[in-house]
Chains A and B, each alone.
Chain A
Amino acid sequence: MARIELCDLNKSFGSVRAVKDINITIEDGEFVVFVGPSGCGKTTTLRMIAGFEDPTSGEIRIDGRIVNDLEPRDRGLGMVFQSHALFPHKSIAQNIEFGLRMKDVPAPERIQRVREVAEMMHITHLLDKMPAQCSGGESQRVALARTLVTNPSTFLLDEPLSSLDAKLRRELRAECGRLQEELKRTFIFVTHDQEEAMTLADRIVVMRSGEIEQVGSPMDIYSEPISYFVADFFGSPSMNLVAGEVVGDTDVVRFRSTHFDFALPEHFKKSKRGAATFGIRPEHVGVAFGGKGEIELPVRLVEPLGKDTLLYFDDGTERAFIAVSEGLEMADVKSGARITLSFDPRRLYLFDADGRRIGAATQF
């Protein structure tokens, strides 16, 4: 059982405010991912929960109890570090056993428990090795096992996968998900990788320069980003974002930029006119030769991926305008060919000059 509440949490390093007025409640058994670019305060927030940083102001509560003044070891949490932080002078078995020894668990039980978690994490063959003899993926499993064995109420994971290669990362990501499902514990996971956040989280907390930008389920964050920042951060390939302006009278509302000029859907009618950014995800752009559409653009590059084909268009900016076409239908398109693009009106986003989302949530 662990329900973690952060109330008006602030942290300053000298004159730098690393974390600003964080308020969030993490429910028992929830998998929450803090995500954001480096320096956004996500790791500092995690370290405050762990007890390694003292909040400048605000409260941290675990199951209703204020833990600000508790030592890390008295908070009943487990943490996995980015560097794995295994004890280099102890064997893998001794590493895993460490937490139990600190809690004065009798030796026979320790051996038993170490064996159990080693089996659970598929690392029994490593028990007699030293950390230096383990690969990156193996040490990460050991780090997880070492935390697991102490049976913490909450797992804090600080970018645990960032030092691994792509394949291992996917593998261990799945492992983390499986663990959480089996253990039904609270997981707080920090990452800068949007894909990790999307695949693992029950709830994503997007952070930006010390503040919470948006909180929501992965689907919420993906389909209802509240700002340009969130829209741009999530999705791969990322959302097409085109700077321009919203123009028109009371009846017609159009988006216009150097290459784009098209009528916006009905629900934008009442939106403020002026500078804006238009956004649409690549998978919501329809592509066709000729026919009806919002705009025609020349193809710059075609990337057939097998399942899909990515089409990169020249829209006059450095960042290409991307569309995804299913299958290999478009794989043979030559660069320079002009293609008509249509935009799914329900999946069209507008952001104002400050990067805030314009218009009510689209209806589905």
Chain B
Amino acid sequence: MTKSRSRRITAIIRYTVLTIWAIVAFFPIYWMISTSFKIDTQWFAWPPVYFPDPPTLSNYLNVWLGAQEYASTQYAISSQTPLVSLLNSTIIATTSTLLAVVFGAVIAYGVSRYKILSEARMFQLLMLRMIPPIVVVAPLSLYYSALGLLDTMFGLILIYFLTNLPYAVWMTKSFIDEVPREIEQAAEILGASRWRTIFEVVLPLIRSGLVATFLFILILTWSEYLLALILSKTNVATLPVELSKYQGTTEGKVYGRQAALAVGITVPLMIVGLIIRKHLARGFSFGMVRR
């Protein structure tokens, strides 16, 4: 077999495998979007309906706006509209993520430059995040209840901030480590104070890394279910909790509505990803200093 031929065969195999994987990965998303536009008889029709015919917006209008006239059947599922959950999720996820990234970066800077945590401590920090939430959720809900944090926005922000802090420290530290010490020292000897060095030199250089960390933690927080379910009731229900309500047992499976809601949960993350894609695409490679 010639070299070019074997290379072609390798390429064919590679693309075949990747294509299959892409289909496996994207099909559920396609199915979600497609179902959200289906009328209720097509939700679990057999043989499956791949393309909604005719496509309808009734699921969206029903779920998001509570427009009952579009629903052939009305399901009394949730006492609150998902728009409230969307607002809750937005406030809770962005606030806790911002806090985690800011505090994480500060701690990471200390670890990277002043070794305020030893290597062992850093691992212990990460270990905290490895604990399965189910283990701590029962005692946590007791504490929360005693402290009056149950079903409050502050309570959820606090727990997400704390649980994601280790990730934030680890991720931002790797970006700060990438900034050569000498660049900071160059700024220092040119007369910059510690703060100015951080704001003028370090922060601009790790901006992409901070943005990537932000998105990573935002996704985790946005889609977190267990803690939200246990620590909130009705006041501050987040989108994943709201979503689960459409999986009721009494009303049957309202797939179309659920899909319409799920699309609404996914789209904001996609928008955020699109806005910051420049930073993500630029990647985490810095390569700024000739070594």
Given the interface pairs A71-B188, A103-B191, A132-B288, the reply to whether A88 lies near B205 with Cβ below 8 Å is yes
Bound Cα distance from A72 to B180, whole angstroms: 17
A199 CB to closest chain B CB, in angstroms? 24
The segment out of A75-83, A179-187, A247-255, A290-298 that lies at the interface is A75-83
Contact with A along B183-199 (1 / 0, CB 8 A): 10111111111001000
Please tell me if the beta carbons of A73 and B180 are within 8 angstroms of each other in the complex: no
Please tell me if the beta carbons of B290 and A87 are within 8 angstroms of each other in the complex: no
Bound Cα distance from A301 to B191, whole angstroms: 56
Bound Cα distance from A102 to B185, whole angstroms: 14
Q: Which of A136-185 contact B (CB under 8 A)?
A: 136, 139, 146-147, 150, 163
Please tell me if the beta carbons of B290 and A78 are within 8 angstroms of each other in the complex: no
Given the interface pairs A71-B188, A78-B189, A88-B205, the reply to whether A102 lies near B196 with Cβ below 8 Å is yes
Please tell me if the beta carbons of A87 and B183 are within 8 angstroms of each other in the complex: yes
Bound Cα distance from A27 to B291, whole angstroms: 32
A136 CB to closest chain B CB, in angstroms? 6
From B188, B204, B289, B291, A72 is in contact (CB under 8 Å) with B188
A320 CB to closest chain B CB, in angstroms? 35
Please tell me if the beta carbons of A73 and B191 are within 8 angstroms of each other in the complex: yes
Total chain B interface residues with beta-carbon distance under 8 A: 22
Is B182 part of the contact surface with A, judged by Cβ < 8 Å? yes
Is A98 part of the contact surface with B, judged by Cβ < 8 Å? yes
Q: Which residue of A lies closest to B186 (CB)?
A: A85
Please tell me if the beta carbons of A99 and B191 are within 8 angstroms of each other in the complex: yes
Most buried by B among A89, A136, A146, A150: A89
Please tell me if the beta carbons of A73 and B182 are within 8 angstroms of each other in the complex: no
Please tell me if the beta carbons of B189 and A84 are within 8 angstroms of each other in the complex: no
Contact with A along B250-291 (1 / 0, CB 8 A): 000000000000000000000000000000000000101111
Bound Cα distance from A75 to B185, whole angstroms: 13
Is B230 part of the contact surface with A, judged by Cβ < 8 Å? no
Q: Which of B200-238 contact A (CB under 8 A)?
A: 200-201, 204-205
Is A52 part of the contact surface with B, judged by Cβ < 8 Å? yes
From B188, B191, B201, B291, A87 is in contact (CB under 8 Å) with B201
Q: Which of A183-221 contact B (CB under 8 A)?
A: none
Please tell me if the beta carbons of B205 and A83 are within 8 angstroms of each other in the complex: no
Bound Cα distance from A72 to B205, whole angstroms: 22
Is A50 part of the contact surface with B, judged by Cβ < 8 Å? yes
From A86, A102, A163, B192 is in contact (CB under 8 Å) with A102
Contact with B along A98-126 (1 / 0, CB 8 A): 11001100000000000000000000000
Please tell me if the beta carbons of A146 and B190 are within 8 angstroms of each other in the complex: yes
Please tell me if the beta carbons of B288 and A150 are within 8 angstroms of each other in the complex: no
Collect the chain B residues with CB atoms within 8 Å of residue A83's CB. 180, 182, 289-291
Please tell me if the beta carbons of A79 and B191 are within 8 angstroms of each other in the complex: no
Given the interface pairs A79-B186, A85-B180, A89-B204, the reply to whether A102 lies near B191 with Cβ below 8 Å is yes
Bound Cα distance from A79 to B193, whole angstroms: 16
Please tell me if the beta carbons of A150 and B191 are within 8 angstroms of each other in the complex: yes
Q: Which residue of A lies closest to B192 (CB)?
A: A102
Q: Which residue of B lies closest to A132 (CB)?
A: B288
Collect the chain A residues with CB atoms within 8 Å of residue B189's CB. 50-51, 72-73, 75, 77-79
B11 CB to closest chain A CB, in angstroms? 33
Contact with A along B24-49 (1 / 0, CB 8 A): 00000000000000000000000000
Collect the chain B residues with CB atoms within 8 Å of residue A50's CB. 185, 189
A144 CB to closest chain B CB, in angstroms? 12
Please tell me if the beta carbons of A87 and B289 are within 8 angstroms of each other in the complex: no
Please tell me if the beta carbons of A98 and B289 are within 8 angstroms of each other in the complex: no
B208 CB to closest chain A CB, in angstroms? 11
Bound Cα distance from A193 to B170, whole angstroms: 40
Bound Cα distance from A287 to B200, whole angstroms: 64
Given the interface pairs A83-B291, A87-B183, A163-B290, the reply to whether A73 lies near B188 with Cβ below 8 Å is yes
Bound Cα distance from A246 to B99, whole angstroms: 76
Given the interface pairs A50-B189, A99-B190, the reply to whether A139 lies near B196 with Cβ below 8 Å is no
Bound Cα distance from A102 to B193, whole angstroms: 8
Given the interface pairs A52-B185, A85-B183, A88-B205, the reply to whether A102 lies near B290 with Cβ below 8 Å is no
Please tell me if the beta carbons of B288 and A73 are within 8 angstroms of each other in the complex: no
Please tell me if the beta carbons of B190 and A85 are within 8 angstroms of each other in the complex: no
Q: Which residue of B lies closest to A139 (CB)?
A: B290
Please tell me if the beta carbons of B289 and A84 are within 8 angstroms of each other in the complex: yes
Collect the chain B residues with CB atoms within 8 Å of residue A98's CB. 187, 190, 192, 200
**Top 9 nearest A-B pairs by Cβ distance?**
A88-B288, A102-B191, A99-B190, A85-B186, A85-B182, A72-B189, A73-B191, A81-B182, A89-B204
Chain B contact residues, CB within 8 Å of chain A: 180, 182-183, 185-193, 196, 200-201, 204-205, 286, 288-291
Please name 8 further chain A to chain B contacts, defined as beta carbons within 8 Å, in addition to the given A86-B186, A88-B205, A98-B200, sorted by A numbering: A51-B189, A73-B189, A81-B182, A81-B186, A82-B182, A89-B205, A98-B192, A99-B190
Chain A contact residues, CB within 8 Å of chain B: 50-52, 71-73, 75, 77-79, 81-89, 98-99, 102-103, 131-132, 136, 139, 146-147, 150, 163
For this complex, 28 residue pairs linking A to B, each with C-beta atoms less than 8 Å apart, are A51-B189, A52-B188, A72-B185, A73-B190, A73-B191, A73-B192, A73-B193, A79-B185, A81-B185, A83-B289, A83-B290, A85-B180, A85-B182, A85-B186, A87-B183, A87-B187, A88-B205, A88-B288, A88-B289, A89-B288, A98-B190, A98-B200, A102-B187, A103-B191, A131-B288, A136-B290, A147-B190, A150-B191
